[in-house]
């Protein structure tokens, strides 16, 4: 192998590392923005991820514990380091059914992961207010 091929290969690895770090900074920025905007009592910020062979997804959900509703959602889907977070209005609403509202299989897995985290943080009592009313009836 010639020295030019080695230098080219090292350059590709450096560029991939820089782009991955840039994506990590985007995740950090999205988390910090949501945490700052939604910093109030009774609100929970959770994240979930799904890794696939070609595509993955990361979702950030802001959940109102009292009402059992997703009040804000942001997701990053894609197969490259150029993916970025976008607001997802279709994921807002009752906690139940959030996975079904996700548009893709990877996003549904990420939402499910986030819901499991929310349930653990909320001692397993997280459910929508409508579901609570149905159980009391």
Mean of the per-residue pLDDT values of the chain:
83
Domain that holds residue 42: 3-136
First-to-last alpha carbon distance for the chain, in angstroms, is 74
pLDDT of residue 137: 44
Reduced to 3 states (helix: H, G, I; strand: E, B; else coil), residue 14 is helix
Least confident of 10-19, 55-64, 81-90, 121-130: 121-130
pLDDT digits 0-9 by tens, 47-77: 898 887 778 889 999 988 888 888 898 888 8
Residues 6+ apart with CB under 8 A from 11: none
Q: What is the mean pLDDT of residues 103-129?
A: 79
Number of domains in the chain: 1
Looking at 1-137, list the stretches that DSSP marks H as alpha helix, in order from N- to C-terminal side: 3-37, 98-101, 105-121, 129-136
Reduced to 3 states (helix: H, G, I; strand: E, B; else coil), residue 115 is helix
Residues 6+ apart with CB under 8 A from 121: 44, 46
């Amino acid at each position: 192998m010639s020295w030019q091929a080695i230098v080219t290969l090292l350059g590709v690895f450096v560029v991939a590392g820089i782009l991955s770090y840039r994506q990590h900074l985007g995740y950090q920025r999205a988390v910090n923005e949501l945490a700052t905007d939604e910093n109030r009592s009774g609100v929970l910020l959770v994240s979930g991820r799904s890794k696939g062979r070609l595509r993955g997804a990361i979702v950030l959900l802001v959940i109102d514990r009292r009402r059992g509703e997703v009040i804000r959602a942001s997701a990053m889907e894609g197969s490259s380091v150029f993916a970025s977070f976008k607001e997802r209005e279709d994921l807002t609403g009752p906690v139940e059914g959030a996975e079904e509202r996700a548009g893709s299989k990877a996003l549904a897995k990420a939402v499910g992961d986030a819901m499991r985290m929310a349930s653990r943080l909320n001692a397993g009592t997280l459910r929508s207010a409508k579901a609570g009313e149905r159980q009391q009836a």
